[in-house]
Amino acid sequence: MKRGLVQTPSEAYQRYGPALVRKAERVLRNPDDAMDIVQGLFVDLISRPPTSLDLPYLYSAVTNRCLNLIRNQSNRSRLLESRQDALRGPERTSLGDTVLTLDLLTHLLAALDETSAEIVVYHYLDDLNQDEVAQQMSMSRRAVVKRLTKIRTVARGIARAASQSDTPKPELRT
C-alpha cells in the first residue's frame, strides 16, 4: 500500500497501529498502557474522523496522549513502579551525560511547558532531528534549537539536584 491510500481510521488502525504502540511503549515503558493509548485514539478517530490519517499526524496524537497520561500523578507513580525499561529501545540521540529515564522524563515534564515536553519526546525518544522536529511541530528550526538548549539546561539541573539528594533519582551515566 502506498502513501495516502489509508482512507479510514480502521484501515489506519491496522496499518499504523503497531508503529504507534511501539512509539507509546518508548515513552511509557508499559505495553498495556501503550496499547490502551493507541486503541483510545482510534476509538475517538472513528467517531470523529480527522482530515489526515498519515503517520506523522498519528505520531503527534499519540505523543500528546502519552504526555497527558504521565502528567497525571497517579498514573505517573504506577508507570514508574511497573516500567519495563527495555521498551525504550536503543538510545541514539544523547541528552548530554544524562540518560532519559522515565523518572527523569516525569521530572522534565513537570518543569517544562507542553511544547518543550513534546520536543523532548520527538528529539530524545523518537530521534527526530531538529529539522524534523520543527516540521512535525510547525515551528522554526531556530525555535526548536532554542528550546533544546533550555531542555538540556533543565535536565542538567534535575540531574544535579538528584545527585545532591536522595529523591528524585534520575539515573546518571558514569
Partner 1 sequence: MRIQCTNTPVSWLELERYVLGESLIEDAVREHLAECDACTQVSSAIAADERTMPALVIPSPVQPTRAWWKWAAVLVPVALLLVFWRSPGRGGQSSSGVKGDSLSLTLIRERSGVLLAPTHHAPNDRFKAQVTCAPGMRMVDLVVRQDGALNLPIPTSLVDCGNATSMPGAFTLEGGVAEVCIQLVSEKDQGAPQVKDDAVCVIVAPEIR
> Is residue 92 a contact residue for partner 1 (CB under 8 A)?
yes
Q: Cα(136)–Cα(63) distance, rounded to whole angstroms?
A: 11
Task: Name the residue with cell 507542553.
Answer: 114
CA distances from 170 to 21, 109, 127, 156 (A): 25, 13, 20, 10
Q: Which of 82, 129, 140, 163 binds partner 1 (CB under 8 A)?
A: 129
Task: Name the residue with cell 539528594.
Answer: 165
76 vs 120, which CB is nearer to partner 1?
120
Q: Which of 94, 149, 153, 163 binds partner 1 (CB under 8 A)?
A: 94
Q: Encode 144-172 in three state secondary structure.
A: HHHHHHHHHHHHHHHHHHHHHCCCCCCCE
Other beta carbons less than 10 A from residue 81's beta carbon: 8
Q: Which of 47, 51, 164, 174 binds partner 1 (CB under 8 A)?
A: 47
Q: x/- site string to partner 1, residues 71 to 90, per CB under 8 A?
A: ------------------xx
> Residue 169 forms beta bridges with which residues?
none
Q: Which of 111, 127, 150, 171 binds partner 1 (CB under 8 A)?
A: 127
- List residues binding partner 1 (CB under 8 A): 1-3, 8, 10-11, 13-19, 21-23, 26, 35, 38-39, 42-43, 46-47, 55-56, 59, 89-94, 99, 126-129, 132, 136, 173
